[in-house]
Amino acid sequence: MKKEIKVDLDDKSYPILIENGILSECGSFLRRITAAQKIALLSAPAVYKAWGRELLKGLARKRFQPELILISDGEKNKDEKALSRILKRLASLGFQRDGCLVALGGGVIGDVAGLAASLYMRGIDLVQCPTTLLAQVDASIGGKTAIDFAGIKNLIGTFHQPKGVLIDPQVLGTLDNRQFKTGLAEVIKYGIIQDEALFAQFEKRPELILRRDPQILFRLISTSCEIKARIVSQDEREGGKRAWLNYGHTLGHALEAYFHYGVLTHGEAVAYGMWFAGLLSCRLRLCPEIVLRRQIAVLKRMGLLRKLPNFSPEEIYKKMFLDKKARKGRIQFILTRKIGLVTIQKNIAQPIILSALTQLRAEASERC
Ligand SMILES: NC(=O)c1ccc[n+]([C@@H]2O[C@H](COP(=O)([O-])OP(=O)(O)OC[C@H]3O[C@@H](n4cnc5c(N)ncnc54)[C@H](O)[C@@H]3O)[C@@H](O)[C@H]2O)c1
Ligand SMILES: [Zn+2]
């Protein structure tokens, strides 16, 4: 199983290559996508320990001798200290404009690597080798880079497209279950916004998905990457369609912040956000109740609806306004028309949102 997908952005276009075991063959891919002579490999200790050797083997086959930069990952390390460490190492290693940074890790490593690559000498080449499901289907594609700053998630960032994305689904073998499921939330999201057949996989083959069957995993990853690549190609800077990708994220981000990023994973928070978006869609008569029920059933089956701790609808409402994506003080919601089709809604009255939040709080604590 092998698939190559193009992110079509004129002179910034790049390939996403998905193949089991491709890490140990990565040298040829790199020779194809970058002319860089000097390479720095950025990773986190645990990821490097698990998969670094495979990647180095692949690079050595094409006579690359990368310098190694290790930093801690996890959201609490996505900060200016990590960025500064990378930039200092690149400087001390004498990297020039023709250098290339290869990121081997989850979304945190990918986002910080992207920011460092976009800043160093006004931009060097970047190659993403994502190792979490979330990074494979989402964070590594589309060129958004960031660190958290002044207590605000992703406050400092740039757009810097990679030269290529190399996805080896095999690396997910060492990923823990909760991290794996958090990535599944994004795949479910792609199904709801664009692709009913993708969504239906979760209804028809939940066991296989949870068992990480290689064939179905390959299908989920490649279809998700195709959808993200298509949307990014049409709207690089989020003026229009790219906002669809925020389905479930308006409430999801607010819940993550409300619980200080410790209680729910990103995917779990987004799962409740998708439930809430479905609820609002029904209340606004954009879709029939069955569309909401199907979403809740799949999210539950995938173990994404863990216990939602009590929250204040008013406080959450305030947090949603703080979201970077609240445009001119109005919250923008992506809502469902049917599975596979969403719509953007900007003017939803506060009482409707508060009452849907209250309903979610009651039903979520009852159900899970
Ligand atoms: N740039 C974008 O468009 C975009 C999109 C979505 C999310 N993000 C960002 O991605 C970040 C979250 O990414 P994440 O969920 O991958 O978190 P992460 O990078 O912190 O990784 C989660 C954990 O998994 C471990 N890990 C990674 N790969 C592993 C593997 N193969 N085997 C075993 N353990 C492994 C890591 O060491 C870490 O402890 C957030 O900061 C978010 O803002 C960015
Ligand atoms: Zn997300």
Ligand 1 atom nearest the C-alpha of 111 is: 1
Measured CA to CA, the distance from residue 242 to residue 336 in angstroms comes to 15
Domains 2-174 and 177-367 share a fold: no
177-367, superfamily in CATH? Dehydroquinate synthase-like - alpha domain (1.20.1090.10)
pLDDT along the chain (368 residues), means of 10: 97 97 96 96 98 97 96 95 98 97 98 98 98 98 97 94 98 97 98 98 98 98 98 85 94 94 93 98 97 98 93 95 68 94 93 96 79
Please list, residue by residue across 11-34, b when 16 or more beta carbons sit within 10 angstroms of its beta carbon and e when fewer do.
Answer: eeebbbbbbeebbbbbbebbeebb
CB 123 within 8 A of CB 160: yes
**Active site amino acids:** 122, 144, 186, 228, 238, 242, 246, 249, 253, 266
pLDDT attached to residue 287: 97
Letter for the amino acid at 306?
R
pTM of the model: 0.96
Ligand of minimum distance to the alpha carbon of 103: 1
Give distance in angstroms: CA of 302 to centre of ligand 2. 16
- Return the axis-axis angle of helices 26-33 and 53-61, rounded to nearest 10°: 60
Ligand of minimum distance to the alpha carbon of 268: 2
CB 40 within 8 A of CB 67: yes
Ligand 1 atom nearest the C-alpha of 73 is: 20
Ligand 1 atom nearest the C-alpha of 44 is: 37
Measured CA to CA, the distance from residue 58 to residue 36 in angstroms comes to 16
Given the DSSP bridges, would you call strands 38-43 and 67-70 parallel, antiparallel or unpaired?
parallel
Measured CA to CA, the distance from residue 95 to residue 89 in angstroms comes to 9
pLDDT attached to residue 324: 62
What are the sequence ranges of the domains in the chain? Answer: 2-174, 177-367
Protein residue with least CA distance to atom 30, ligand 1: 175
List, chain by chain if needed, residues with CB within 6 Å of any ligand 1 atom: 44, 46-47, 50, 73-75, 78, 105-109, 111, 131-132, 134-135, 138-139, 142, 144, 154, 171, 174-175, 179, 182, 266
Ligand of minimum distance to the alpha carbon of 273: 2
- Domain range 2-174, CATH class: alpha beta
Measured CA to CA, the distance from residue 163 to residue 178 in angstroms comes to 30
Give distance in angstroms: CA of 186 to centre of ligand 2. 6
pLDDT attached to residue 262: 83
